[in-house]
Amino acid sequence: MDLITEITILVLAAFVGFEVISKVPNTLHTPLMSATNAIHGIVVLGGILVIGSADGFFSKAILVIAIAFGTINVVGGFLVTDRMLEMFKKRPEPKKQVAEAAEASK
């Protein structure tokens, strides 16, 4: 792929990134940061793609560490985000019922 095509993709994707995030409630800042954190773990692809062509023990060792780091970033990032969001999920339902019940009893 030529450089200018890649830069085109880069710039367009940057605008998507700006656009998507422009309206986010405060509450979701932490989970969102954590989720985007997991997404940049996509660098693990870099390690997977180059390890085969790398020569020598040292280069391979560096790349095994890189793949391990990338995997930690991806797996850990998505799991931690899920744990945070799990708590948001269960919250409104029972409370709404309580509020409605209180409303009804008035």
CA Rg, the chain, in Å? 21
Least separation in angstroms between residue 106's CB and other proteins is 13
Judge whether 45 and 71 are in contact, CB under 8 Å.
no
* Encoded amino acid at 53, one letter: S
Least separation in angstroms between residue 8's CB and other proteins is 9
Distance CA(74)–CA(38), nearest Å, equals 5
84 token code pair:
């945070």
Least separation in angstroms between residue 67's CB and other proteins is 3
Q: Which C-beta is closer to other proteins: that of 23 or that of 105?
A: 23
Least separation in angstroms between residue 71's CB and other proteins is 2
Nearest-10 crossing angle of helices 57-71, 44-51? 150
Q: Which C-beta is closer to other proteins: that of 13 or that of 105?
A: 13
